[in-house]
Amino acid sequence: MKKPATDFLLIDISNSFTKLAFASRSRIGRPSTIATPILTAERIARILHAHDAATVVASSVVPKKNREIKRAAGNRKVIWLTSQSRLNVRIDYPNPKTIGADRLANAVAVAK
């Protein structure tokens, strides 16, 4: 059976829960949720194996879990949402590097 092809696996890691969704350039699939404490590279790799996502796009406020994303992605490209990302929103904040990725993602969503 052929795997469904998608362009991206979107991952949003917060302290309690991690949200994951596959996306193409025009659509975002239904998100699923997993408790962040049990998020492992093996779980993510199984999810990635179910689809042919070429790129992982991740935001995280839990730095310890970033290693798990990198390990699971293998040779896939990983794009991290940070204050340095080109977001098409202006950040007017004294120290942008201290803004959490979750808040950056919210700003982008509101701007659309």
DSSP conformational letter for 63: H
Residue 102 annotated among the catalytic residues of the structure: yes
Which pLDDT score, from 0 to 100, does residue 15 have? 94
Which pLDDT score, from 0 to 100, does residue 2 have? 54
pTM of the shown model: 0.82
The catalytic residue among 7, 52, 92, 102 is 102
Integer Rg of the chain from CA? 14
Cα dihedral sign, 63-24-85-56: positive
pLDDT, the chain, mean: 87
pLDDT tens digits along 42-84: 999 998 888 888 899 999 999 999 999 999 999 999 999 887 8
Whether 19 shows a pLDDT value over 80: the answer reads yes
CATH number at 8-80 = 3.30.420.40
Where do the domains of the chain lie? Answer: 8-80
Which pLDDT score, from 0 to 100, does residue 28 have? 87
| Contact indicator for 71, 58 with CB cutoff of 8 Å | no
- Choose between 5 and 101: higher pLDDT: 101
pLDDT tens digits along 38-47: 999 999 999 8
